[in-house]
Structure 1
Amino acid sequence: MEKRHIASHHAYPNVDGWDTDIEQSGLLLIIPWIKAKGIQKYQHKFFFLVYPLYLFNWMFIRDFRDFFDNNRVILKTQGSIPVVEKVKMVGYKLFYFFYQIAVPILFFKVSVGLALGAWFLQVIAASIFALFVLLPLHPLPDNAFPKLDEKNGLPFSWLHHQFEVTNDLAENNWFVRNVLGNFNFHVAHHLFPNYSYLYYNEITDEIEKFAKEHNLAYKRFPILTALGKHVDLLKQNANNAYYILEE
């Protein structure tokens, strides 16, 4: 999972067909320059019902498609996946379900309904938390969604690209830093993924100075403002605002 994240999301953030973290689905449309179709035209009205299911999709669909579908992004960035890795992925999933559901039932005499219900609520809570980290930092109308050219090239250099597609959160306190793992300093996370998050506060000061000196688009929003902007993006995409502006 870490290799997939670094090879696709860090290398191609906000790039349709390459960034697995903003992968398109049939229900929701994130990329502004793709025209909304069918139910996507109403996505701003039901997204709050879909987002809590985020990790269910990851567990039951996305991982299997990434490992067994030859047309997936992971193959474009990392090549074919060894059989042993596929076996490990399935094995770890089975172990996860064993200790999450089977262990409470078999060893602690918890009812099947209670075990399944507790697991279900846990995954919903984890999904909401995961999206609290992801949604305010990339898929906003203020961030770019660059198109590839005919040679699969991007319009910006890698450094410039990270500023165009990523923003930070304005909150910088003990609670936010520890709950989000300093992901509120998300530009630093993308530019220096191998550095400890403990240094992101100081690194961000230098990044902001660098951006001003080189006229780069460093952006920072309060978390609730950023989440509101994401909802605005869903509305714009549902209404095909990108196409209206082009015309």
Structure 2
Amino acid sequence: VYKQLEKPISVRKIWVEPVYETIRRDFGENFNAVVKLIMGTNPEILTEGLANNSVIRLGDYLIKPEHVKISERIVEEKGKRFIPHVIEPSFGLERVFYAVLEYAYTEYEGRAILKLPIAVAPIQIAVYPLVTKDGIPEKALEVYKRLLNSGFDVYYDDSGSIGRRYVRSDEMGIPLALTLDYQTLQDDTVTLRNRDNWRQVRTSINGIEDKLRSFFAGKIPFEALGEPV
């Protein structure tokens, strides 16, 4: 559960950034897999594992201190996530969950879509690099981490064609897909795709967090997120 704080607070956090040049040099064609593992590992675990110039194993790979840049930053937090105490009602949540899924499942042009209300969708945004080369994956991972640190529930996927990834995210019930392409490298804009009707808009990634918060809070429609594509 995410709870908004009355006043923002400043907290010290460990910040981990992959050193792309060294990772590409040492892991070659496994570059993307190693970067994803590093980005998905708890920063404290990485820091402890790499202390005193030692190495840490992530999956099938040995990560050395020169593969990551670890620093401490002061981050402003506007809310906190916590696990609430769970009350087990006698009627059982399974039926409620099944009813939600049955209501949300639909088909559009022969494809399955799980139209979960944005208030209950477990993943809010999917981040996709259009291609896995030319610096686009690195930019996509940067945006992915930005959104995570801003309190969004985000999913990253760079496998398969962009069309197949859209199909998967629709079936998972993810309301928005954010795609980075070659134009992103030129003007810092991205494409946002609506799960329910497949409409797309183009918007800047500068200040995108505030727009997304307004959308997920129901304050603005999808069309207000950017210019139609």
TM-score (ref. length: structure 2): 0.28
Higher strand proportion, which one?
A: 2
Say which structure is richer in helix: 1
The TM-score, its normalising length taken from structure 1, stands at 0.27
Structure with bigger RCO (C-alpha 8 Å, 6+ apart): 1
